[in-house]
A and B are shown apart, each in its own frame.
Chain A
Amino acid sequence: MEERSKAIQDRIREKAKELLSKKEVDLVIGFGEWTLPLRTTPIFIRTPEGAEDLIWNSFCENNLAIYLHKFSQFKVGIVVKGCDARSIIALSLEKRFKPDQLFLIGVPCQRMVDRRRVKKAVKGEILRAHEQGDQIIVEGEDFNTTLRRDDFLYPSCQVCTHRTPMGTNVLIGDPVKESPLIETHPEIKEFEKKSPEERWRFFEKESSRCIRCYACREVCPMCYCAECFVDSSNPKWIEKGFSTSDLEFYHIVRAYHQTGRCSGCGACERACPMEIRLTYLTQKLNLDVRELFDFETGIKADTLPPLSTFEIDDRQEFIK
Chain B
Amino acid sequence: MEKNWEPKILAFLCNWCSYAGADLAGTSRIQYPPNIRVIRVPCSGRINPLFILKALQAGIDGVLISGCHPGDCHYISGNYIGRRKSATLKRFLEYLGLEEGRVQFSWVSAAEGGKFSQVVDEVVQDIKKLGPARRFVKREDLRGQGVEGSRKNILNT
Contacts and interface: CB of A to CB of B under 8 A. Distances in A.
B15 interface: no
B81 A310 contact: yes
Instruction: Decide if the interface of chain A is mainly helix, strand, loop or mixed.
Output: helix
Interface string B129-141: 0000001111100
A284 B142 CA distance: 31
Interface string A226-265: 0001000000010001111111110011011001100000
Contact of B98 (A192, A200, A314, A318): A200
B12 interface: no
A241 B146 contact: yes
B136 A248 contact: yes
A180 interface: no
Interface residues of A, number: 50
Instruction: Decide if the interface of chain B is mainly helix, strand, loop or mixed.
Output: helix
B92 interface: yes
Contacts of B88: 256, 259-260, 285, 288-289, 292, 307
Contacts, number: 133
Nearest to B82: A310
A186 interface: no
B97 A201 contact: yes
Interface string B98-126: 11100011110000000000010010000
A68 B98 CA distance: 37
A243 B94 contact: no
A143 to B, nearest CB: 35
Given A192-B95, A288-B91, A245 B138 contact: yes
Interface string A260-281: 1000000000000000000001
A285 B87 CA distance: 11
Interface residues of B, number: 50
Contact of B53 (A249, A311, A316): A249
B138 A310 contact: no
A308 B85 CA distance: 10
Given A242-B146, A316-B70, A306 B54 contact: no
Residue of B70, B84, B92, B151 with highest tally of chain A CB at under 10 A: B84
B92 A285 contact: yes
A312 to B, nearest CB: 7
Q: Which 10 pairs of residues, A with B, have the shortest CB-CB distance?
A: A200-B97, A199-B97, A310-B80, A245-B138, A320-B106, A244-B153, A319-B105, A196-B97, A244-B150, A242-B150
Given A288-B92, A289-B88, 17 more contacts: A198-B97, A199-B95, A199-B96, A200-B96, A244-B153, A245-B153, A249-B54, A249-B136, A252-B96, A259-B88, A284-B92, A288-B87, A292-B91, A310-B77, A314-B83, A316-B70, A320-B105
